[in-house]
Structure 1
Amino acid sequence: MADDTVCSGVDRAALLPEDKDYVYDFGQNPGRFADRKTFPALVGTGGSLAVGILPPCGMSFLHIHPRSAELFAVIEGHVLTEGVFEAGVVRADGKQRVVRTDLGPNMMTVFPGGAFHTQMNPECTNATVVAAFPSEDPGIALILPQTFALDDDWLKTQFGDVSTEEIAGLRASLPTGLFLQVEGCKKKCGIQTE
């Protein structure tokens, strides 16, 4: 039964014999992301789900999900989003199409599979969000850190007239982790700058 695509519902139920095998507690899991690895009951369902708190002035790194679309909903708070569709999706003026949304409670948006996107909480209180994926394993690719993992010569070709020192400076300035804080918003909210 190595290939779960041929596993029947009866086989799957036998692998998960306890009722507790069908419960995922987002509050007890630091990643707050239920996928086929963290919640085996999802195997064969074709879906996964994340529940999160976007802190005041918090912003997710620009990212994509290479194997899934994302259905993104705000439960509590206020979230701004931006998504860039694949090449060739352009506005009437021929420029790249960027979808910008302003979401409040009980509102959602969708990021098509492979679309670059980010979310930001512009307020001084937490925002509670849910992200659903029509894939058991949507994956995540962080655009800037992964771009700057390329060799300097490759980056120089991609970015044009940049020096090795400029590339090193950009690499060194990239924040780590999945979330950032927006400086202007932090000042508005009185959040200490580190």
Structure 2
Amino acid sequence: MQFTSAIVFAILAYTNTVMATPVPTSTAVATPPATTTLSLTQQLFLSDTAVDRFKLLPNNDDFVFSFNQDQKGAGKGGRLIAANRKTFPALVGSGSGMAVGFVGACGMNTLHVHPRATELQVVVQGRLVTEMVPENGVNNPDGTPRVISNTVNAFEMTPFYQGSVHTQFNPDCTDAVFVASFNSEDFGAGQIANETFAVGNDVIAATFGQSINGADIDKIRAAIPASIALGVEECLMKCNIKKN
């Protein structure tokens, strides 16, 4: 196919006209980026690198956590303050957490477990009587479950293994303080009594061999104290502390 000179000139003229026509600019207003609803802990988790995490913690005091604070829902026997990745976002990426327990006279950190961490506990003031039941199958020679009991004095340490049932009790009339480290930023805790009596009455009755009825179960539920609780009667009498 051959083009005549007239056709060629017509094509070139049309092309030049199209190219010279200005492209209209959009009058739409740019939409601003949406404000994030993520918590600081979540933003730290989503950071591409550790360098990016530090940019989200611009202040030096972002790396300081104070245990000198009140515990919400503390029991009558003391208080426990936990530093985890929610209460202390700088822990994100560290794989570590910590708690400090202030256990009053005759106070008891009631039976509990940590579902995601092993605890290393150091007593830094006073002393604590500790007990731990590791798991099914850890038995005494007579076949009964082994309970690892110790009196831990100031600047002595004991471990509580992940998932083990354990407790600490202050047998004295003066305050005790412990520091606990965990190999998790989210170690968690579950109080055994609270969790046991949270299930249905029929399950509880069967668990205890039908030795308690529904009315008694409700009374027990209502009487379960918040941790840290006031402890054994002998200590309460020795320290002249009125029993609840």
Q: Please report the TM-score for the alignment, with normalisation by the length of structure 2.
A: 0.74
Corresponding letter in the other structure for 1:68: A
Correspondence for 2:102: 53
Q: Residue 184 in 1 paired to residue 234 in 2?
A: yes
Equivalent of residue 112 in structure 2, options 60, 63, 70: 63
Matched residues, number: 193
Q: Deviations over 1:16-57 (max 9, x none)?
A: 111111011111464521110011110000011111211010
Q: CA RMSD in A?
A: 1.8
Runs of 4+ in 1 over 3 A off after TM superposition: 28-31
Q: Residue 121 in 1 paired to residue 186 in 2?
A: no
Corresponding letter in the other structure for 2:55: A
Corresponding letter in the other structure for 2:157: M
Correspondence for 1:86: 135
Superposed, 1:160-175 pairs within 5 Å as 160-162=209-211, 163-175=213-225
Correspondence for 1:193: 243
Q: Residue 13 in 1 paired to residue 62 in 2?
A: no
Correspondence for 2:202: 153
Tell me by how many angstroms 1:173 deviates.
2.7
Correspondence for 1:104: 153
* Percentage identity across paired residues of the two chains: 42
Distance 1:85 1:9, change over 3 A: same
Contact 2:67–2:100 (CA under 8 A) maintained in structure 1: yes
Correspondence for 1:42: 91
Corresponding letter in the other structure for 2:180: A
Question: Aligned with 1:71: secondary structure?
Answer: strand
Question: Aligned with 2:151: secondary structure?
Answer: strand
> Which whole-Å CA distance do the structure 2 matches of 1:93 and 1:6 have between them?
54
> Which whole-Å CA distance do the structure 2 matches of 1:112 and 1:22 have between them?
28
Tell me by how many angstroms 1:104 deviates.
0.6
Tell me by how many angstroms 1:159 deviates.
1.6
> Which whole-Å CA distance do the structure 2 matches of 1:181 and 1:51 have between them?
18
Q: Which structure has more RCO (C-alpha within 8 Å, separation ≥ 6)?
A: 1
> Which whole-Å CA distance do the structure 2 matches of 1:152 and 1:59 have between them?
27
Equivalent of residue 95 in structure 1, options 120, 139, 144: 144
Contact 2:123–2:179 (CA under 8 A) maintained in structure 1: yes
Tell me by how many angstroms 1:172 deviates.
2.9
Tell me by how many angstroms 1:174 deviates.
1.8
Distance 1:26 1:7, change over 3 A: farther
> Which whole-Å CA distance do the structure 1 matches of 2:144 and 2:209 have between them?
20
Tell me by how many angstroms 1:188 deviates.
0.2
> Which whole-Å CA distance do the structure 1 matches of 2:203 and 2:235 have between them?
35
Correspondence for 1:72: 121
Contact 2:44–2:92 (CA under 8 A) maintained in structure 1: no
Corresponding letter in the other structure for 1:150: V
Contact 2:47–2:53 (CA under 8 A) maintained in structure 1: no
Contact 2:44–2:56 (CA under 8 A) maintained in structure 1: no
Contact 2:44–2:53 (CA under 8 A) maintained in structure 1: no
